[in-house]
Chains A and B, each alone.
Chain A
Amino acid sequence: MFGLLEPHSLAGNRYHPTAPPSQEYLALAIRNRKVVPVRKFTVPNAGENWQFLSDGSVLFADGALYSPDGKKGGAPGWQTYLAINSLIQSSIGAGRNQAFGSILWNGDVRIQYKGTPPAGRCRIFLPHSGRSIPIAADIVKIDKIMALLPSEDGSYLLSVNLDYDFSSTAVGTLARRLNEKVILPDALKYKAMEGIRFELYEPAGKKRAVLSGRFIAEGIPYIAAARHRYLPINAAISPDGRSLVILAQRIDSNIREYLHFAW
């Protein structure tokens, strides 16, 4: 593929080459039955960590926002992420944090961070209005956070937490020492604890809705719905924050389903 045609430019479409380090793109127009470039727009070389927003603006990881007419705005100095799971992956690195898949949908709203996670300040950034909403430190500092997804208007945040500390009961430890020759149900082998939690917060810290699941085995959480147990793969919240969609796989088969939740 030579590049990408973006669908939202002034002239209807935009072309930009994908080969780094070029950061140029073009608005296209139709003249005399020919597709021709009408505007060349060069942005600073900031690596590959930049994204088009729905209105054609370009948002960089350092918070700078370039509008289609070339004007610069945004909030430089704030590291900008799609959501907190991309923050975790880029700041901490690969590993088990990648267990929760990429976000299904995120819209234009972003998470911004100043400082070093998890000690810095975190906020929701709404690029179109330039408005930002601070996020309570307690939400960001929750242990074992896997993802933090803002709603499109910034009024809600979905926090996905996974508790990796899967502790065994005394009976379970004994069974393990007997080389698993004693067949026991998981409920006896492991302490009943919440393995995964989907929690909806207001940015100021008030918790509004909860969905929790337990462990089916060490480090593998499940959620129960419609008489099935599911491994959550990834999730999204609706623009208004009222709905939660989880892509999940049934534990006993390869069937994957979209699960729609409301509160």
Chain B
Amino acid sequence: MQPPDAELLRRHAGGDADAFGQLFLRHRDRLWAVALRTLADPEDAADALQDAMISAFRRADSFRGDSAVTTWLHRIVVNACLDRLRRKAARPATGGTDERTLDSLAHRRAAADPSSASDTTIDVMAALRTLPPDQQAALVLVDMLGYPVADAAEVLGISQGTVKSRCARGRARLLPRLAHLRRAGAVTGTARGGNRSAAGNVSPAQGEGDDQS
């Protein structure tokens, strides 16, 4: 029986040198998914995640137990990613997402993340990049990774209504960009990948080791 998240965090705060590492290993894939889907670039994602983990490691005592440890960790990761996204947006290299950006994005993704290098995924990710960071973050959590709106709201530190609104605006903006996929019938109601028949049914609370304390 593995200790719950909150217990690991307590042990970390109490001086257990391995506790935080266990916590990281337990949730690394979900945190990685958030970082990679938000930033698209694996190196950026790794940098952001490392910053976030170091930050969480240092600030373990800022966790107050009013949310799940996973929510707290997600929040730190999302903030680190959004900081990076905004910094990038603040100094646009090419003035937006042009063909070249999309190409390099696609190649890098294909190289670093072969499991998701399908054309559909690349197109979806590229389209997502054209959205404002706030809408991206909401859609990554809710639509891509299937977090319930309530969880996404807690992670993002905004109301559920705002999450819904950002998701809605984001989807509307994605519509024309993904129209060619729809026409080509690339994606049907049964999503590729099999284990998700629709968006929003993979809750982070279904993972192992969650602790709602």
Q: Do A and B come from one complex?
A: no
Mark B residues whose CB is within 8 Å of A.
none
